[in-house]
Amino acid sequence: METVKFSQMKHGDREDYELLRDRDVEYAGKVGDRLLESLSQLEEGFSGFKVTRLDHSLQTATRAWWDGADADWVVAALLHDVGDLHAPYNHDEYAALVLRPFLREQCVWTVEVHADFQKVYYAEKLGEDPNVRDRYRGNPYFNDCVEFCARWDQASFDPTYDYLPLEFFRPLVRQVFARRANDPAVQQPGVRMPLIDAKAAAARKHH
Ligand SMILES: [Fe+2]
Ligand SMILES: [Fe+2]
């Protein structure tokens, strides 16, 4: 494989840096596949739940899919916990950082704060504040995150739920990560799409 001529960055010339720029674009194009690879590693390790973290991720995405949610929502649902692998104490921020260049702002924000919103389901049982989500009141996406947690995230720890396999979601993930990074037409600041689309849901059920 062709490489640069330099061993220290300060010695590189234009040709070297053009070569690297092209390779970077090629490498970035496979980020969707690498994320799915990471997700499949969530199969390992004991979490204490009745399902693995991979099962949980697939269940969350499957619920989004059957609700008729759009590609941004389904991919957000699938990858919302991918940060567990390397950032167990701020997995929400980690996932948001990864998703930010390629997803609608609404979905990225939801992923970024979902852990605080999930506390309403359990924090009180540990003597902690279940209402930390209140600090986000007034945010235009507040109710979207409430719904994300209620319908998809907190419900997806069910060993009896029949969910779609990782490979089902691969084309959708590839499509999303093939978008132009940081494109305002993708990030659509301020735009809110519903989590549930009855028409899309019905069409999916008939296939
Ligand atoms: Fe989470
Ligand atoms: Fe989750």
- What tens digit of pLDDT does each residue of 185-200 get? 999 999 999 999 999 9
Query: Residue 46's pLDDT is what?
Result: 66
Rounded Cα distance between 139 and 148, Å, is: 15
b (16+ CB within 10 A) / e for 68-97:
bbbbbbbbbbbbbbbbbbeeeeebbebbbe
Rounded Cα distance between 161 and 205, Å, is: 16
Rounded Cα distance between 114 and 169, Å, is: 21
pLDDT tens digits, one per residue of 55-109: 999 999 999 999 999 999 999 999 999 999 899 999 999 999 999 999 999 999 9
Among the bound ligands, the one closest to the CA of 56: 2
CA of 80 to the centre of ligand 2 (A): 6
> Which of 84, 141, 75 lies closest to 113 in space, CA to CA?
141
CA of 117 to the centre of ligand 2 (A): 11
CA of 16 to the centre of ligand 1 (A): 41
Query: Residue 132's pLDDT is what?
Result: 98
> Which of 103, 181, 185 lies closest to 144 in space, CA to CA?
103
Residue 16: CB atoms within 10 A of its CB come to 15
CA of 105 to the centre of ligand 1 (A): 18
Report pTM: 0.95
3-state SS, residue 43? coil
Which residue type occupies 189? P
3-state SS, residue 8? coil
CB 163 within 8 A of CB 59: yes
Query: Residue 197's pLDDT is what?
Result: 98
Q: What is the mean pLDDT of residues 141-151?
A: 98
Question: In the numeric block, which tokens belong to residue 90?
Answer: 């701020």
CA of 20 to the centre of ligand 1 (A): 35
Residue ranges of domains in the chain, CATH in brackets:
12-206 (1.10.3210.10)
